[in-house]
Amino acid sequence: MDINNLLLLVIIGILAGFIAGGLGVGGGIIIVPALVFFFGMTQHQAQGTSLAVLAIPIGFIAAASNYHKQGHINYKYALILVGAFLIGSYFGSMISVNLPAKTLKKAFGVLMLIAGVKMILGK
Protein backbone atom coordinates (compact mmCIF):
# COMPACT_ATOMS: atom_id res chain seq x y z
CA MET A 1 0.00 0.00 0.00
CA ASP A 2 1.40 3.37 -0.95
CA ILE A 3 1.37 6.46 1.26
CA ASN A 4 -1.40 8.14 -0.78
CA ASN A 5 -3.78 5.22 -0.23
CA LEU A 6 -2.85 5.09 3.44
CA LEU A 7 -3.53 8.81 3.87
CA LEU A 8 -6.81 8.56 1.96
CA LEU A 9 -7.95 5.69 4.18
CA VAL A 10 -7.04 7.70 7.29
CA ILE A 11 -8.99 10.70 6.00
CA ILE A 12 -12.02 8.53 5.14
CA GLY A 13 -11.87 6.90 8.58
CA ILE A 14 -11.64 10.22 10.40
CA LEU A 15 -14.46 11.71 8.33
CA ALA A 16 -16.69 8.66 8.81
CA GLY A 17 -15.98 8.58 12.54
CA PHE A 18 -16.61 12.30 12.90
CA ILE A 19 -19.92 12.12 11.05
CA ALA A 20 -20.99 8.94 12.84
CA GLY A 21 -20.10 10.34 16.25
CA GLY A 22 -21.53 13.77 15.51
CA LEU A 23 -24.73 12.83 13.72
CA GLY A 24 -25.38 9.34 15.06
CA VAL A 25 -25.37 7.74 11.61
CA GLY A 26 -23.52 4.64 10.59
CA GLY A 27 -20.05 5.34 9.29
CA GLY A 28 -20.90 3.11 6.36
CA ILE A 29 -22.67 6.04 4.74
CA ILE A 30 -19.21 7.51 4.19
CA ILE A 31 -17.04 4.40 4.12
CA VAL A 32 -18.96 2.34 1.55
CA PRO A 33 -19.14 4.96 -1.23
CA ALA A 34 -15.55 6.05 -0.55
CA LEU A 35 -14.21 2.51 -0.90
CA VAL A 36 -16.18 2.00 -4.11
CA PHE A 37 -15.24 5.31 -5.74
CA PHE A 38 -11.69 5.88 -4.48
CA PHE A 39 -10.44 2.31 -4.18
CA GLY A 40 -12.44 0.55 -6.89
CA MET A 41 -13.87 -2.02 -4.51
CA THR A 42 -17.01 -3.88 -5.45
CA GLN A 43 -20.13 -3.00 -3.50
CA HIS A 44 -19.81 -6.34 -1.70
CA GLN A 45 -16.19 -5.70 -0.72
CA ALA A 46 -16.96 -2.17 0.45
CA GLN A 47 -19.92 -3.25 2.57
CA GLY A 48 -18.00 -6.15 4.09
CA THR A 49 -15.03 -3.92 4.89
CA SER A 50 -17.30 -1.28 6.39
CA LEU A 51 -19.02 -3.82 8.62
CA ALA A 52 -15.65 -5.10 9.81
CA VAL A 53 -14.62 -1.55 10.76
CA LEU A 54 -17.81 -0.71 12.60
CA ALA A 55 -17.61 -3.47 15.19
CA ILE A 56 -18.93 -2.99 18.73
CA PRO A 57 -15.63 -1.88 20.35
CA ILE A 58 -15.13 0.94 17.85
CA GLY A 59 -18.63 2.30 18.27
CA PHE A 60 -18.56 2.12 22.05
CA ILE A 61 -15.07 3.36 22.74
CA ALA A 62 -15.04 6.15 20.18
CA ALA A 63 -18.54 7.60 20.43
CA ALA A 64 -20.90 5.91 22.84
CA SER A 65 -18.67 6.55 25.84
CA ASN A 66 -19.08 10.31 25.34
CA TYR A 67 -22.85 9.95 25.05
CA HIS A 68 -22.79 7.72 28.15
CA LYS A 69 -20.97 10.42 30.13
CA GLN A 70 -23.74 12.85 29.26
CA GLY A 71 -26.52 10.36 30.13
CA HIS A 72 -27.74 10.12 26.54
CA ILE A 73 -27.89 6.33 26.15
CA ASN A 74 -30.93 4.19 26.82
CA TYR A 75 -29.20 0.86 27.46
CA LYS A 76 -32.44 -1.12 27.53
CA TYR A 77 -33.27 0.07 24.01
CA ALA A 78 -29.67 -0.37 22.89
CA LEU A 79 -29.56 -4.02 24.02
CA ILE A 80 -32.83 -4.79 22.23
CA LEU A 81 -31.53 -3.05 19.11
CA VAL A 82 -28.23 -4.99 19.28
CA GLY A 83 -30.08 -8.31 19.33
CA ALA A 84 -32.41 -7.28 16.53
CA PHE A 85 -29.51 -5.79 14.56
CA LEU A 86 -27.57 -9.06 14.80
CA ILE A 87 -30.51 -11.01 13.42
CA GLY A 88 -31.28 -8.46 10.71
CA SER A 89 -27.67 -8.06 9.63
CA TYR A 90 -27.19 -11.82 9.42
CA PHE A 91 -30.16 -12.32 7.11
CA GLY A 92 -29.55 -9.07 5.22
CA SER A 93 -25.98 -10.09 4.48
CA MET A 94 -27.13 -13.56 3.39
CA ILE A 95 -29.29 -11.92 0.75
CA SER A 96 -26.88 -9.15 -0.28
CA VAL A 97 -23.87 -11.38 -0.92
CA ASN A 98 -25.96 -13.19 -3.54
CA LEU A 99 -27.16 -10.06 -5.35
CA PRO A 100 -25.32 -8.67 -8.36
CA ALA A 101 -23.00 -5.80 -7.37
CA LYS A 102 -24.85 -3.41 -9.69
CA THR A 103 -28.18 -4.15 -7.99
CA LEU A 104 -26.65 -3.81 -4.54
CA LYS A 105 -25.01 -0.48 -5.42
CA LYS A 106 -28.31 0.90 -6.71
CA ALA A 107 -30.18 -0.26 -3.60
CA PHE A 108 -27.60 1.42 -1.37
CA GLY A 109 -27.89 4.65 -3.37
CA VAL A 110 -31.69 4.61 -3.24
CA LEU A 111 -31.61 4.11 0.53
CA MET A 112 -29.29 7.10 0.96
CA LEU A 113 -31.49 9.23 -1.33
CA ILE A 114 -34.68 8.36 0.51
CA ALA A 115 -33.08 9.02 3.90
CA GLY A 116 -31.58 12.30 2.69
CA VAL A 117 -34.82 13.60 1.15
CA LYS A 118 -36.80 12.62 4.25
CA MET A 119 -34.31 14.36 6.52
CA ILE A 120 -34.27 17.52 4.41
CA LEU A 121 -38.02 17.77 3.74
CA GLY A 122 -39.38 16.08 6.88
CA LYS A 123 -40.84 17.94 9.84
Question: Would you kindly state where each structural domain of the chain is located, as residue ranges?
Answer: 3-121
Tens digit of pLDDT for each residue in 49-97?
887 776 655 666 666 677 778 777 667 877 776 777 778 778 888 888 8
Average pLDDT rounded to a whole number, residues 31-41: 88
Task: With cut-offs at 50, 70 and 90, classify the pLDDT of residue 4.
Answer: very high
pLDDT at 1: 84
CA 106 – CA 12 distance, rounded (Å)? 22
Cα torsion through 52, 80, 29, 69, rounded to 10? -90
CB 36 within 8 A of CB 44: no
CB 62 within 8 A of CB 21: yes
Give this prediction's pTM: 0.65
